[in-house]
Amino acid sequence: MHSEINLGEFQYELPEERIAQHPLAKRDEAKLLIYDKGEITHSQFFKLPYFLNNQTLLVFNDTKVIPARLYFRKETGALIEIFLVEPEQPALMSLMTQATSAVRWHCMVGNKKRWKNGEILKQELIFGELMLVLEAELIDADKQIVALRWNEDGLPFLEILQKFGNLPLPPYLKREVSDEDQAQYQTVYSASEGAVAAPTAGLHFTDRVLNDLDKKGIEKLFLTLHVGGGTFQPIKSDTVEAHNMHLEQIIFTRDNIQRLQENTENIVAVGTTSMRALESLYWFGIKLKKAQETGNLAPIPFFIEKLFPYQITKKDCISLKESLALINAYMQQHYLLELPGETEIFIFPGYDFKVCKSLITNYHMPNTTLILLVAAFIGEDWRKVYEQALANEYRFLSYGDSSLLIPG
């Protein structure tokens, strides 16, 4: 089924000048395209509440971008750039940000040919009365694993990053980080540090829009998915299965599960990251059902492999309500207030959506996993949406304009 997907069909022409290089001064004045069962209308983002049913449960990703880009200058003068992509040790982001002496990351290394395995680079910074020293050692050049160590034992890694790191703007923003980015490349509700890229659909929300949602009685729910650097990677493989899908960490609370149980009918995902998290949650319920059937009562890792949903037959599927009930019971049984997990779920045409009824999202790069996700959600009409956005001078990618997609 998946091999039949012709990846060439997910290309489109994106002129360079349509990539938004800077955020709008007022985030909620972005354009908003509404695709509703085939019909397209144009509006502005601050009018979003008008287009949502008051029974909606709007699901946000509250992850916060960390300063994940580090620069080291070698004695030769060569500049080495380290972009933190995925934590290796400790692997859990909440532990990673609090680590107090050394960490390891999978990275993208700029100018890697100038940096040898085992070679240690140093950066020094005077901070108050402290002389902070941050060391980077290339542990594995092939896998791009970097060890980072610092001299102030007891200072958490997040604080080290805030002193030495730079905001990781996407690679297609061909400019230096500016003061406006420090505020504008975070959502106004960001809370849980750990993303290395912003959940960009949420960048348009302001206090004004959030208040208007409240006035209309639209419910809001905040989950956490720490966006990884792999979100920008184009598909270079010949088939979809062969694409090396990025892994991202998720956290659901018991309250999240109970709130979802109360409203399974009209769940609207703010961004592809919220959608990936929500759909992954359903499949974790399926894993619990399978374990129950085999009498396995041991704790089960919340990990959704990239092709897991496609390996489950229709007769093995259950309703969203049943899946959430299994998850709630599991959390109670194991005294869990939080359910941390990991997902590499790959949503492409042929995927059967189990949770999300609508999606708020920006416009994505051609030939990426995100375009495939949009095509899976609204079918062939993804092309119509993108043609309309281009024809109406919408701004594209992270700082670009928005869309509300309601499939037929």
pLDDT for residue 219: 97
End-to-end CA distance of the chain: give it in Å, rounded: 22
Residues 198 and 203: their CA atoms lie apart, in Å, by 8
CA neighbor of 198 nearest in space, from 32, 62, 30, 359: 62
CB contact at 8 A, 156 and 127: no
Q: What pTM value is reported for the model?
A: 0.94
Every domain of the chain with CATH number 3.40.1780.10 lies at 2-64+182-406
**Residue 43 φ then ψ, to 5°:** -150, -155
The dihedral sign for the CA sequence 54, 216, 254, 272: positive
Tokens representing residue 287 in the block = 């894993």
CB contact at 8 A, 403 and 204: no
Secondary structure (DSSP) of 140-175? ETTTTEEEEEESSTT--HHHHHHHH-B----TTS-S
pLDDT for residue 1: 44
- Rounded to the nearest 10°, the torsion over CA 169, 203, 259, 264 is -100
- Rounded to the nearest 10°, the torsion over CA 20, 107, 136, 128 is 40
- Determine the residue type at 328: N
Per-residue pLDDT of the chain (408 residues; tens, 9 = 90+): 444 788 888 899 999 999 999 999 999 999 999 999 999 999 999 999 999 999 999 999 999 999 999 999 998 889 999 999 989 999 999 899 999 989 999 999 999 889 989 999 999 888 777 788 999 999 999 999 999 999 877 889 999 999 999 999 988 888 889 989 999 999 999 999 999 999 999 999 999 999 999 999 999 999 999 987 666 667 777 787 888 877 899 999 999 999 999 999 999 999 999 999 999 999 999 999 999 999 887 899 999 999 999 999 999 999 999 999 999 999 999 999 999 999 999 999 999 999 999 999 999 999 889 999 999 999 999 999 999 999 999 999 999 999 999 998
pLDDT for residue 232: 63
CA neighbor of 305 nearest in space, from 346, 269, 275, 277: 346
Residues 195 and 218: their CA atoms lie apart, in Å, by 27
Residues 257 and 370: their CA atoms lie apart, in Å, by 26
Query: 258 vs 29, 224, 318, 325, 349, CA distance in Å?
Result: 34, 16, 18, 9, 30
Query: 408 vs 38, 70, 371, 381, CA distance in Å?
Result: 7, 45, 18, 10
Query: Structurally, what CATH architecture does the domain formed by 2-64+182-406 represent?
Result: 3-Layer(aba) Sandwich (3.40)
pLDDT for residue 230: 65
| Chain centroid, CA 146 distance in Å | 22
pLDDT for residue 231: 63
Q: What is the pLDDT of residues 267-289, one digit of tens each?
A: 999 999 999 999 999 999 999 99
